[in-house]
């Protein structure tokens, strides 16, 4: 493990004050969390995108609290000092503020989260307020909000017209007023992200595909390493082709087993002659 001190809210706000961008990635499992911890990533989001990246659904809607909690607990074991954010799945907060507070509390108490994230603006501000009033740090998510992908007309840039951009500005203000300490802007135009960042008073603005002028950046881990087979969105930079490396390894394994070059003596364990002879006598 690293000797990094636990990343806490003041650590994140200090980075903002110092003008140092915050790093944030999605993560869904123990070994990847371990690597992200080693790399010194500030924040980790166990996103409900795990429905697509890990479970193979076509959307995030089938993901349950139980799915989220199992993965979030594993990530916390791998990344003990990262600022860990649990993503509230579909219908874990929409029905009522009470439902929202109860499920947010489960992320904190049962998964070791430092904060939760939920999607929506003005309409979800009372959920954010309820969660924050319960002592739980909350992050809002605006722009392309995958749980509403059907209502938004697909995975596309949001807030391109002045009127729609104004709605996102108003949503951001409502979330900040409700007590969100951070807001994620996903797939909105760069100038809109910059404007919201400049106007934020005590709120960290994070960008996912929304340009460089936020307080930090989020990427989906699977998009960074070519690990999602269905598509790689334009906003993602591929930092290494992990999918190709793994595929080549798998093909080599299949070939070596088939042609009997794997395993080799260093891959197995022997037994002393006298023990083996005794075994034969016992049979």
Which sequence positions are flagged as catalytic? Answer: 186
Name the residue among 252, 244, 26 with its Cα closest to residue 146: 26
- Residues 125-154, one symbol each (x = binds ligand KIV by CB under 6 A, - = not), give ----------------x----x--------
Query: 220 to 239, contacts with ligand KIV by CB under 6 A?
Result: 220
Of the residues 37, 42, 48, 67, which one makes contact with ligand KIV according to CB under 6 A: 48
Binding segment for ligand KIV (CB under 6 A), chosen from 47-55, 98-106, 154-162, 259-267, is 47-55
User: Shortest Cβ distance from residue 120 to ligand KIV (Å)?
Assistant: 12
Q: How large is the angle between the packed helices 30-38 and 65-78, nearest 10 degrees?
A: 40
SS3 state at 29: coil
CA distances from 13 to 121, 158, 237 (A): 22, 27, 26
User: Shortest Cβ distance from residue 85 to ligand KIV (Å)?
Assistant: 9
Of the residues 23, 47, 76, 175, which one makes contact with ligand KIV according to CB under 6 A: 47
Evaluated on CA atoms 40, 46, 49, 54, the torsion sign reads positive
- How far apart, in whole angstroms, are the C-alpha atoms of residue 196 and residue 185? 9
Q: Where are the alpha helices (DSSP H) in 19-156?
A: 30-38, 50-53, 65-78, 97-111, 125-133, 149-152
Evaluated on CA atoms 131, 132, 136, 140, the torsion sign reads positive
Binding segment for ligand KIV (CB under 6 A), chosen from 43-51, 160-168, 239-247, 267-275, is 43-51
Residue 49 is a binding residue for ligand KIV (CB under 6 A): yes
Residue 87 is a binding residue for ligand KIV (CB under 6 A): yes
Residue 186 is a binding residue for ligand KIV (CB under 6 A): yes
Residues with Cβ within 8 Å of residue 16, at least 6 apart in sequence: 22, 204, 215
User: Shortest Cβ distance from residue 61 to ligand KIV (Å)?
Assistant: 12
User: Shortest Cβ distance from residue 188 to ligand KIV (Å)?
Assistant: 12
Query: 10 to 39, contacts with ligand KIV by CB under 6 A?
Result: 26
User: Shortest Cβ distance from residue 59 to ligand KIV (Å)?
Assistant: 11
Nearer to ligand KIV, 48 or 176 (CB): 48
- Using a 10 angstrom Cβ sphere, with 0-12 exposed, 13-18 middle and 19 or more buried, the burial of residue 150 is exposed
- How far apart, in whole angstroms, are the C-alpha atoms of residue 24 and residue 82? 10
Residue 208 is a binding residue for ligand KIV (CB under 6 A): yes
Q: Which residue is nearest to ligand KIV (CB)?
A: 47
Size of the site for ligand KIV (CB under 6 A): 13
- Where on the chain is the footprint of ligand KIV (CB under 6 A)? 26, 45, 47-49, 87, 141, 146, 184, 186, 208, 218, 220
């Amino acid at each position: 493990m690293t000797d990094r001190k636990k990343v806490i809210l003041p650590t994140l706000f200090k980075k903002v004050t110092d003008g140092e961008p915050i790093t944030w990635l999605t993560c869904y499992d123990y070994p990847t969390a371990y690597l992200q911890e080693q790399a010194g990533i500030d924040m980790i989001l166990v996103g409900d995108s795990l429905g697509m990246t890990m479970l193979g659904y076509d959307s995030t809607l089938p993901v349950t609290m139980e799915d989220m909690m199992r993965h979030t607990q594993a990530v916390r074991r791998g990344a003990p000092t990262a600022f860990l954010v649990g993503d509230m799945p579909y219908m874990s907060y929409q029905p009522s503020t009470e439902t929202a507070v109860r499920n947010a509390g489960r992320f904190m108490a049962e998964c070791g989260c430092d904060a939760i994230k939920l999607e929506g603006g003005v309409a979800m501000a009372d959920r954010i307020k309820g969660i924050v009033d319960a002592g739980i740090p909350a992050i809002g998510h605006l722009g392309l909000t995958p749980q509403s992908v059907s209502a938004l007309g697909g995975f596309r840039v949001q807030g391109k017209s002045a009127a729609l951009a104004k709605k996102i500005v108003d949503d951001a203000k409502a979330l900040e007023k409700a007590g969100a300490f951070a807001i994620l802007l996903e797939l909105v135009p760069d100038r809109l992200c910059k404007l919201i960042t400049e106007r934020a008073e005590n709120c960290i603005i994070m960008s996912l595909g929304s340009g460089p002028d936020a307080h930090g950046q989020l990427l989906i881990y699977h998009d960074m390493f070519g690990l999602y087979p269905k598509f790689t969105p334009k906003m993602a930079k591929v930092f290494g082709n992990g999918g190709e490396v793994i595929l080549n390894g798998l093909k080599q394994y299949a070939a070596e087993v088939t042609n009997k070059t794997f395993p080799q003596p260093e891959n197995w364990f022997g037994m002393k002659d006298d023990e083996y002879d005794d075994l034969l006598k016992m049979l």
